[in-house]
Chain A
Amino acid sequence: MKYIDEYRNREMVRTLSEQLHTISRDRPIRLMEVCGTHTMSIFRHGIRNMLPKWLQLVSGPGCPVCVTPTGVIDAFVNLAKRPGVTITTFGDMIRVPGKNGSLADAGARGADVRIVYSPMDALTLAAKEPEQMVVFLSVGFETTTPTIAATILEAERQGVDNFFIFPANKIMPPPLAMLMQDQDLQIDGLLCPGHVSIISGADSFRFLVDNYNLACAVAGFEPTDILTAILSLVNQVQSGKPVVDNCYNRAVTGRGNEKARAVVEEIFTPTDAEWRGLGVIPASGLALKDGYASFDITRELDLRPEPSIEPKGCRCGEILKGLCQPRQCPLFGKRCTPGNPVGPCMVSSEGTCAAWHRYGALEEQS
């Protein structure tokens, strides 16, 4: 596949890994990545084993499913059980357990729950089934939010009045700022999410350099992209001169995609939002503007958020902050497995614990 295979080339990958290994350090360097797709890519391609021992990679709150509070999950499941409602969602949400089971469980008991690949598919479905309230579970970060905003605009143009969203979108910079203020969290550099950056622009991470002296590198998702960004971060830390290095410049610009951002600003407005494990972060979520309230299922049906209940023993919150590794959670691999997940970090295919469970045992044995 063009513009993918070249960036997976074994020769290139080995070269970059060797470059990293030419550097010797006594003090470790801790890098955080905040994108579920980065977590998955690192594990899927076996990149961890290529890194020198002094390099520590930590996973932050980059999985939109993982940071959705349990109260919201419960609200999704309750909504699914309502007659006349069709739930449409991305695949990851289906198995996340709430206190009354998951969307998949609700589907098994007769609820109408469908996986879609695009929010537009949900709109098409709504147009085809006018007697159903078709609700799209709007979970995602900056990459996905514009696609939902564009879909709402299209729904308005087409006059589809049975299409709704359950707003749960979030934005990245506020939790990053919050994390950087945490004394326990010693992070030297950040692998910045590549596709979020397409929308927000590489410059949107400048504040981390300016306010927190944090080395930043915008990274694509192929193995060479990730290793190139890691190399950049290591060099930045070594030189003591942090910047935002755009290592994914075939897709990302400094300014980002202004048209996409304009579409989002038309529909959404910032609001305070609860992040699982991190608590409420001001202005970190998105709500529908009053002009688009008719698309908001929570206003249509007057849905109140349920209180969030953390499953006992679950350490997802600390894992999301990068403060502990999955294996340090007492439930990991025992009570909590991909087939029987306790918390979202294990359920979502991009959750830290799921990735570790699927791929991580290799390191244990090596």
Chain B
Amino acid sequence: MCLAIPMRVIEIKGGGDSLMDPATAVVDADGMQKEVRLDLVDRSPEIGDYLIIHAGFAINCLDAANAEINLQLMRELAESMGEENGS
């Protein structure tokens, strides 16, 4: 069961007390917002971080640096294929 999407943290709430005040984050994707639980992430996210959201929980932080590297590699591949094809 794997449906999960990256959403950006716009607010952190709670965390003061695991019973009365569980840690949650308000996350946003293109204006759609959701409050999600942070019970399962091992570091406290910051505003602007992207979290992978599944079933109302954040299950991990997205590694933006790695994402940028991936995208850059793909762009370079596309360029080099383009050159080979003479476009």
Contact = CB atoms under 8 A, between A and B. Distances in A.
User: So, do A and B actually touch in the complex, CB under 8 Å?
Assistant: yes
Interface of A: 1-4, 6-7, 9, 11-12, 15-16, 18-19, 35-38, 64, 90, 117-121, 139-141, 143-144, 146-147, 150, 153-154, 157-158, 193-196, 198-199, 221, 224, 228, 249-251, 257-260, 263
A257 B42 contact: yes
A17 to B, nearest CB: 10
A15 B75 CA distance: 9
A1 B55 contact: no
A38 B2 CA distance: 9
Contacts of A1: 5-6, 29-30
A12 B6 CA distance: 20
Contacts of B14: none
A64 B56 CA distance: 19
A263 B67 contact: no
Interface residues of B, number: 38
Contacts of A64: 1
Contacts of B81: 15, 18-19
A144 to B, nearest CB: 4
B47 interface: no
Nearest to B68: A250
Contacts of B22: 154
Interface of B: 1-6, 8, 18-19, 22, 29-30, 37, 39-42, 50, 52, 54-57, 59-60, 62-64, 66-67, 70-71, 74-75, 77-78, 81-82
Given A1-B5, A2-B50, A259-B41, A250 B56 contact: no
Q: Looking at chain B's contact residues, is the secondary structure mostly helix, strand, loop, or mixed?
A: mixed
A224 B71 CA distance: 10
Given A153-B39, A249-B63, A118 B2 contact: no
Contacts of A258: 42
A146 B56 contact: no
Contacts of A4: 5-6
Contact of A144 (B1, B67, B71): B1
A143 B5 contact: no
Nearest to B6: A3
Contact of A119 (B2, B55, B70): B55
A1 B5 CA distance: 10
A194 B2 contact: yes
Contacts of A146: 40, 57, 59
B74 to A, nearest CB: 5
A199 B41 CA distance: 10
B57 A15 contact: no
A260 B63 contact: no
A143 B77 contact: no
B55 A117 contact: yes
A199 B2 CA distance: 11
19 contacts: A1-B6, A1-B29, A15-B78, A117-B56, A118-B56, A143-B1, A144-B54, A146-B40, A147-B40, A147-B59, A150-B40, A154-B22, A157-B18, A157-B19, A158-B19, A194-B2, A250-B67, A259-B40, A260-B40
A286 to B, nearest CB: 14
